[in-house]
Structure 1
Amino acid sequence: MKIAKKTAAFLLVLFLGIQCMPLTALAADGTLSFSDPTAKAGETIEVTVKINTAEGPIGDGQVQVTYDPTYLEFVSGVNATGEAGTITLSASGNGIDSELAYSMTFKALAEGETTLQAVGYTAYTFGGEELNLTLGTSAVKIEAGDGTQPAAAQQPGTQTMIELDGKQYFIADDIPEALIPEGYEKSQLTYEGSPHTILVHTGSGQKMIYLMDTQGEGNLFLYDSETDHFSAFEKIDLSSDSYILITDDKESANIPEDYEETTIQINGKVFPAWQNVVDTKLADFCLVYAVDNAGKKGLYQYDSTQKTYQRFLPPTAEKEKQDGSVANKVTTFVEENLPKIMVGAWGVFLMMLLLIVILAVKLRHRNEELDDYYDQEYDENPRAARGFSSEDYDESDDDDYDYEEDYDESDDDDYDYEEDYDESEEDDYAYEDAYDESEDDYDDDYDYEEDYESEDAYDDLLDYYDDDDDYELEREILDEDEGFFDKRSGKKRGIDLI
């Protein structure tokens, strides 16, 4: 029976432990690859795209690809649709193959090199598991053809060169429609004396300028007209109607304390990031600086495990520096061990409550025992329970004192009798009357002797005092009374009766 109970308890603990174990859903890996074709200006050129995974049959896959319409013009494609500047690739697996294939056909417009790149994707295995793709790019080389010239030479007027991170750029006015983010529209800006087409956010007024390098590769950059600062960015879709633009503008970022600068790679681009170096629990998180779809700038927290972004809310007040004081140490200890402290406090409370209950029960039993004891004492000696007042004894003592005075008066009467006897010796009749009065007095004394016998009853009364503290007092009273009676008895015995 004990073995069965132990086995059941072990299985229950094992089941609960399994339920409490964190379940981490890991995304399957895959790759997104492009071909790198070469063609002459004026010819058609085909670019192939493939999604591969080693996790089994592949399911659905959708990719957004951007290109530079200055060099290429989209003609057609397999599993591909698009417009100037962007193409959407979409295909579904058959449950057997682990690869999805796409193709895009372009017309080469100008001599130079350009790049096709993926700006977003969703891909799954045939079982519905999300794929984490490693993104590649396509480097397209266009050679000179009959009557063609480099794309940079097609830009009107004299170009103002802009140097960013060691590379030379110029402003390109032909902005691909596919690159224009939601909330931005085209506008005009005069830059160093030359008018240019740019993008302006309709709400915040944030500006974007399309820059192209000497190799003919173009990208949009955030532009601050007050500081004349260009910032590269990468668009991240948070939902169907919201996005953020992660930038490399670390000068405008207000980084909180305890964070140190590092880097993060997003879609092949490197951006500055900041990581907490004090709290080890935040090792999988870092901060990036971004602009949301409303044009507001701020810090976002990136979860490297779940690949998600969340707006970062800085503390309302700057955290006070730790000075190593006892108060700070106690505060830190309480914050780090609050659950344990709460459990301990509840334990102390329950122990105190149990102790109070035990004391209350014991006191109640003690009171009941005292009540029983007093009831028994009353039953055995009700007079003692009621109490014997010393005033009663004083009254008795006063009665004895009055009796002594009566006796003295009687003694005086006897003395008067002798005088009467001497004076009336010849008067026999008078003597006989006096003698009769003496006999009456003697009878009174005899009555006193009878009263003396009541001393035994008085002794019985003193026997009530059993307490050791009253013993000496009782003996003194008794000795005085015995002496008194002895004195009275002696005096009585010394009377001459004639």
Structure 2
Amino acid sequence: MHRTVTNTILSILLVALILVVLPANAFAASASASVSSSTVKPGDTVTVTVTFRGTDIGVVDGTFSYDPSILQYIGGSGTSGGGGSGLIKLVTSAPNSSSLSATMTFKALKAGSATVSATAGLILSYHEEKSLGTASASARVTVKAPGSSSSSSKPNNNSSSNTNTSNNTDSSKPKTSEPNTKEEKEESPTNPVEGTIKVTMGDKELYLWKDLSSVKLPDGFKSGEAFYKTVKIQAAVGENRNITLVYLTDEKGENGSFYILDNDKLYPYITLNTTSTYTILQLDDPAKLPEGYKETELKLGNQTVQAWQLESGEHPDFYLLYAMNDKGKKGFYLYDQAEKTMQRYTNRTVVKEPEPMTLIEKLTSDTKLLAVVGTLGALSLILLIILIVLYIRIRQYFGKARTYYPDIPDGRYF
């Protein structure tokens, strides 16, 4: 009997544990990568497809990296980048999706092997916007020189590149040795950020690229020219908006991102997609800030932007942002962090009607009226003095006249 009760309790605990663990695993995200052709020649193009999977997946925000000396990023779907790294941004309008895919198309530059790695740091569900975790995947691309066509010679080229034990004929030796020598020269260490401009952003040191010929520009931008501290550079210029972007990477030429160039000031280029597309800007004039707001920070994905909230602490889910809409108009917008919506901000300050002024306030506020009242007051005072003098004179007159004429009435009647 005791063993039966124990087994029953253990079974209940096991079922409860399964119910707790299964939902977490059911919503966890995963990723996989595939290559259109794992082996290509210099000059060929290759497409890497990364698929992120998850229950009711809705948003994917991540990055990808590759070897820029072997591969050149030339485009893709849901991706942008260049110089060894890029961004992955996927959003679906279809509910109950089980996967989202991004593609990256590269041009092979020279012989070698490169790994394309993709990592999603933010994966959200469509309906409840719950985090599905993170996911990563990678694919390897091999670029072979045109001379290495024989399959039987591949192992020999790899294994005997530093020895002379192969039994090839004299005519084949130059063909196997010369390409290897060239590859060794080409693969010699080079500075990936040579010719860039060193920029300090907070506690980080980044490098601004003066040439964007190998970088895919964001949608709505075209190649143009700009100046950064008197240095002429190539930049991404907005086609319909007055905004200029530059491209920055780390010291390895990786983890590249676009930054807004505003009078030699740089800050991250961040777009917020709701019903429209907004570009988050930094406020150029603090005097424009509406009264009653204090500065704070808002985290959007992996980036932190300038924002403001009410000083009173009311409505903590609402942030005031300074942004530019897709028509190029700048202004303040209210961002609802809970529902991920943007609304144009209008000054809601209530103008109170002035209270009615008292008679004294009216007199003191109107100089003309005050002068008229003063004049009338002076005349009234003079008239009063005259009446008093007349009254005294009349009393004196009747007092003297009664002495001579007793029948005159007493002056007290006057």
Larger relative contact order (CA 8 Å, sep ≥ 6): 2
Q: If the length of structure 2 is used for normalisation, what is the TM-score?
A: 0.48
> What TM-score, normalized by structure 1, do the two folds share?
0.41
By percentage of residues, which structure has more strand?
Answer: 2
Structure showing the higher helix proportion among its residues: 1
